[in-house]
Amino acid sequence: MAKILVTGGCGYIGSHTLVDLVENGYEVISVDNNKRSNPIILEGVEKITGKRIKNYKVDLCNYDDTFAIFQENVDIDGIIHFAAYKSVGESVEKPLMYFENNLQSLINILKCVGEFKIPWFVFSSSCTVYGNPDEIPVTEETMPKPAASPYGYTKQMGEQIVNEFAKGSSTKCILLRYFNPVGAHPSAIIGEMPVGKPQNLFPAITQTATATTSRLTMPPPRRCT
């Protein structure tokens, strides 16, 4: 049974990935510092799968703590790296925080991938790498343009880091450039539950519909330059 480490496993996409991996016969562990997520979501994953998922509450920007996870799990076969700050608006207001968090955590993970010779690595990139494309819809052949936010730049730079790492490594690396995933598990046990005010439209709509918030408000659109 292959063992997969999912970073950001308590997040929206990460938790659904944990479920899918377990249901397909993988052993999984999670790492999430829970600054932007709630560990209670792992209880939902357990209800769905019947498996208790071990989560390491570790900040991946701390290399020693990250390295310790790999020392304890020398049999990791692959990593799916979701952990990152993801709010476009916040990245405009706090660009250095985004560059530090999203890039330092990636570098620390890749150091461990190289040290422990992990055979597979999947990087959660983003459609933001396409910037403001000339044609819609974009495809895998669409060329990236300058990012429209510091968040987008962290994903562009992250892809470059992974590409350069892969050139000198036997690790097989994959870049995922997905758009805005929405929805919930068919059981409705887990779904998108953002900590704090939602930054995406659908969580804002659902929280308004369930009276979690009193009215639908979204940040004003930002002009991309």
* Residue 194: per-residue pLDDT: 55
Percentage with pLDDT > 70 across the chain: 85
pLDDT higher than threshold 60 for residue 211 = no
Decide: 193 and 201 in contact? Cβ < 8 Å: no
* Residue 107: per-residue pLDDT: 98
85 is annotated as an active-site residue: no
Instruction: Select from 188, 128, 135 the least CA-distant residue to 154.
Output: 128
pLDDT higher than threshold 80 for residue 215 = no
Quote the CA–CA distance of 95 and 102 in Å, as a whole number. 11
**Strand runs labelled E in 32-171:** 54-56, 76-81, 120-124
* Residue 5: per-residue pLDDT: 98
118-140 pLDDT, tens per residue? Answer: 999 999 999 999 999 998 899 88
59-82 pLDDT, tens per residue? Answer: 999 999 999 999 999 999 999 999
- Nearest-10 Cα torsion for 1, 51, 10, 198: 130
* Residue 180: per-residue pLDDT: 78
- Averaged pLDDT for residues 103-132: 97
Confidence of residue 223 (pLDDT cuts 50, 70, 90): very low
Decide: 106 and 80 in contact? Cβ < 8 Å: no
Give me the residue spans of the domains in the chain.
Answer: 3-183
pLDDT higher than threshold 70 for residue 21 = yes
- Averaged pLDDT for residues 101-107: 98
Confidence of residue 209 (pLDDT cuts 50, 70, 90): low
* Residue 186: per-residue pLDDT: 80
CATH number belonging to the domain at 3-183, selected among 3.40.50.1220, 3.40.50.720, 3.40.630.10, 3.30.2130.10: 3.40.50.720
Residues sharing a CB contact under 8 Å with residue 213, sequence separation 6 or more, in sequence order = 204, 207
130, 151, 153, 178: the active-site residue: 151
Confidence of residue 28 (pLDDT cuts 50, 70, 90): very high
Encoded amino acid at 161, one letter: I
Residue 204 corresponds to which tokens in the numbers above?
A: 């804002």
